[in-house]
């Protein structure tokens, strides 16, 4: 392991990027070996935001541990909560009412859109464009307001609980989401005009950060990173949960394998999420939003696993229960960790500036990598 700044025995320059660097999206620390401006090796160092969430969950009950998972991948906190709730429901064989399921899917897709919007703005910053950030945050703010009204919080909602959702949707929810859809449809073309079609942006993205489908699979990449390499991996299609089998949407596959392909996958996913929301918004079934559960949840002895598709990829929750009030062991499979591990493969031999652009298209959230 390379520890210090200086020169390697071969005469290459070793520098640290991060942990406090604006382009690393949080406290990511990369030790980079440079030959001139060419990256020879790039080694991520983790542990700067480790909070031992998995260990912490062992002392929390099955209702309490869900709120902590909002703090992992904070941009798709709803979907993390959904994954945990699904595992608990699977173990206790709770059937979630249809209304609860639809509200969950609506919230998950709104979260995915908010996450992709933030990624789009931050990617613009990474490649040197400042304006996209404001455009993306303008629309994201509307989603945050919708979340605030129904869930009570903007980022760490803790809205999805075992058995359904915590509250029914706010009376204004449907109208506000409809307003958002009209607003977003008028704005999404602006994104393409401003960034996608831009020649400088395309030159920075095309042919950069190449990873083939087989390599991406062997590194364990999931989500848009793997789909941009031409591999089908959407959990919403492979193993549908919470009624995703009933909605019509396409799984976006690109075969470019580079940063531009990853960019296109996410931009097209925004439109797919919008179409899922449109399908469900007027068809929220009447009835209960939460199944009747016991006040104290006790999982039977055994091992339980379930997985969901977050904005970054596959998120898995693995619970080992000894039959008590708290889990014996919890393991989270976070998408960011595997996606980051492919970074050195993607950037070997590229320029330092391309490393930042590649990192931007991986959509890293550091608290998710470093639980």
Partner 1 sequence: MFLVDYIKTVYNGVTSLLKGMRMTGYYFTHHKEIITQQYPDVKQVLPERFRGEVVMTHDEKNEHRCTGCTACELACPNATIKIVTKFDITPDGKKKKALDTFVYHLELCTMCNLCIVACPTDAIKMAQSFEHSVYDRSLLTKVLNKPGSKLMEGVE
- Using the minimum distance from each CB to partner 1, give the nearer residue, 80 or 229: 80
Rounded Cα distance, 36 and 231, in Å: 35
Considering beta carbons, is residue 18 or 164 the nearer one to partner 1?
164
Cβ proximity to partner 1: between 2 and 56 the closer is 56
- Residue 314's nearest CA partner among 332, 299, 293 is 332
* Measured CA distances, 212 to 150, 197, 231 (Å): 42, 25, 10
Q: Number of C-alpha atoms within 13 angstroms, CB side, residue 40?
A: 12
* CA–CA gap between residue 217 and residue 144 (Å, rounded): 34
Contacts with partner 1, residue ranges (CB under 8 A): 60, 63-65, 67-68, 131, 138, 141, 148-153, 156, 158, 161, 166-167, 170, 190, 193-194, 197-200
Of the pair 189, 322, the CB lying nearest partner 1 is at: 189
Nearest-approach distance from CB 244 to partner 1, in angstroms: 26
| Cis status of the peptide bond prior to 167, with omega within 30 of 0 | no
Q: How far is the CB of 139 from partner 1 (least distance, A)?
A: 10
Neighbours of 37 (CB within 10 A): 11
User: Shortest distance, CB of residue 179 to partner 1, whole angstroms?
Assistant: 14
Nearer to partner 1, 200 or 238 (CB): 200
Judged by beta carbon, residue 24 or residue 259, the one nearer partner 1 is: 259
Measured CA to CA, the distance from residue 247 to residue 252 in angstroms comes to: 15
At its nearest, how many Å lie between partner 1 and the CB of residue 181?
A: 18
Residue 77 CB, shortest distance to partner 1, in Å, is: 11
Distance CA 10, CA 338 (A): 30
Residue 171 beta carbon to partner 1: minimum distance, rounded to whole angstroms: 11
């Amino acid at each position: 392991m390379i520890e210090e700044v200086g020169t390697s025995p071969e005469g290459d320059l070793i520098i640290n990027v991060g942990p406090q660097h604006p382009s690393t999206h949080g406290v990511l620390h990369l030790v980079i070996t440079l030959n001139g401006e060419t990256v020879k090796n790039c080694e991520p160092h983790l542990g700067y935001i480790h909070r031992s969430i998995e260990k912490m969950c062992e002392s929390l009950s099955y209702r309490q541990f869900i709120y902590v998972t909002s703090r992992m991948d904070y941009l798709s906190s709803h979907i993390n909560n959904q994954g945990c709730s699904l595992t608990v429901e699977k173990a206790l064989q709770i059937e979630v009412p249809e209304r609860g399921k639809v509200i969950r899917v609506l919230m998950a897709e709104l979260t995915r859109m908010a996450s992709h919007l933030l990624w789009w703005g931050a990617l613009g910053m990474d490649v040197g464009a400042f304006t996209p950030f404001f455009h993306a945050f303008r629309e994201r703010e509307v989603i945050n307001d919708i979340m605030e009204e129904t869930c009570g919080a903007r980022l760490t909602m803790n809205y999805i609980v075992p058995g359904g959702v915590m509250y029914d949707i706010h009376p204004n929810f449907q109208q506000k989401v409809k307003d958002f859809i009209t607003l977003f449809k008028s704005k999404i073309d602006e994104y393409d005009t401003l960034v996608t079609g831009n020649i400088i942006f395309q030159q920075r993205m095309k042919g950069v950060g190449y990873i083939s489908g087989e390599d991406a699979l062997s590194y364990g990449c999931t989500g848009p990173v793997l789909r941009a390499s031409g591999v089908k991996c959407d959990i919403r299609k492979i193993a549908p949960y919470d009624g995703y089998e009933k909605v019509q949407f396409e799984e976006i596959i690109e075969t470019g394998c580079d940063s531009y392909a990853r960019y296109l996958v996410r931009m097209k996913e925004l439109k797919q999420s919008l179409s899922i929301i449109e399908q469900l918004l007027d068809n929220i079934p009447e009835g209960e939003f939460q199944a009747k559960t016991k006040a104290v949840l006790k999982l039977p002895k055994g091992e339980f696993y379930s997985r969901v598709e977050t904005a970054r990829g596959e998120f898995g929750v693995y619970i080992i229960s000894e039959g008590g009030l708290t889990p014996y062991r919890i393991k989270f499979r976070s998408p960011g960790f595997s996606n980051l591990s492919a970074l050195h493969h993607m950037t070997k031999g590229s320029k330092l500036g391309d490393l930042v652009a590649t990192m931007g298209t991986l959509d890293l959230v550091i608290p998710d990598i470093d639980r």
